[in-house]
Amino acid sequence: MADTHQKIGSLSVHPLALGGNVFGWTADETESFAVLDAYAAAGGNFIDTADVYSAWVPGNKGGESETVIGNWFASRGNREDIVLATKVGAGVPEPRGLSAAVIKSGVEESLRRLRTDYIDLYYTHYDDPSLPVEEFLTALDALVKEGKVREIAASNITAERLAEALAFSDSEGLAKYVAVQPHYNLVSRDTYEGPLADVVAQHGLAAVPYFALASGFLTGKYRPGTEVASGRSEGASKYLDARGLRVLAALDQVAETHSAEPATVALAWLASRPTVASPLASARTVSQLPALLAMTDLNLTQEDLTLLTEASK
């Protein structure tokens, strides 16, 4: 496996971020440990979760993913080997939002579940337009000064608010966002490309795109007339339109050329895009991991990249 670690602020991360949204949802603790072990054994070191994962499951309260990861750290004794990202503000603890009180209590709950005393990359999960940026940036800066958080980042934020937040951090000498986590993939480009990507590039930030495989659509297993038993099938099937079929055809063509999986090609395309440091993808089982990790060894040609980019317009 090629060692092509990427920089996010002061952090050095593997070019594939492992999504923890499935832990405690479609993967139980035993399955989650197996995936985490296999990812780490392959050289992976960048694990992404959130305090709210997986509150959408009946009977869950949120925090299940963090708890699984914390138990894994405790049983493997490998916390220092991992760059850990989690998030605050999406509803655990209630209420939603980014008030100083929510951030202060949220980080303590996350640290407890994760069984650690620091978080490497702490995201504001959603912007809170009801608050001035100074409220949450001041609260996040305090966490950095206390050593509870190493770097801060933003998910689901507009270009305007990101620029405002960066300017405030600069003017006040506060901890500054080093990354964004946008919705971005071959069939969802306008969710990142344009003003938001421009601000990220202008300020030298990194992007860690979520839904990198479009809820599994870009694995190629969702085709017209094909039934897939998956918790994500509804989300993936919405891409089965003319554009989506064009993208699948292009993925198939490039994948065949390189004897690669469509998922590998889709991730490699995303990793090639300006500002992208580490696409985010999740694996429910160990068998799903090799196609994801193979992106680090897949060298797409300019012809490949152009074909995919044109098909996805």
Q: Which alpha helices (H) appear in 188-261, and where do they start and end?
A: 195-202, 233-237, 242-258
Among candidate residues 53, 126, 177, 239, the one labeled active-site is: 53
Spatial contact of 124 and 136, defined as CB atoms under 8 Å apart: yes
Alpha-carbon gap, residue 51 to 59, rounded angstroms: 16
Measure Cα distances from 296 to 1, 75, 193, 272, 293 in Å: 7, 28, 23, 11, 6
Phi/psi of residue 178, nearest 5 degrees: -110, -10
Spatial contact of 149 and 186, defined as CB atoms under 8 Å apart: no
Asked if 53 is an active-site residue, the reply is yes
Tell me if residue 263 falls in helix, strand or coil.
helix
What is the four-CA torsion angle of 233, 184, 39, 260, rounded to 10 degrees? 80
- DSSP per-residue string spanning 62-82: S-HHHHHHHHHHHHHT-GGG-
Spatial contact of 27 and 64, defined as CB atoms under 8 Å apart: no
Alpha-carbon gap, residue 205 to 158, rounded angstroms: 14
Catalytic residues: 53
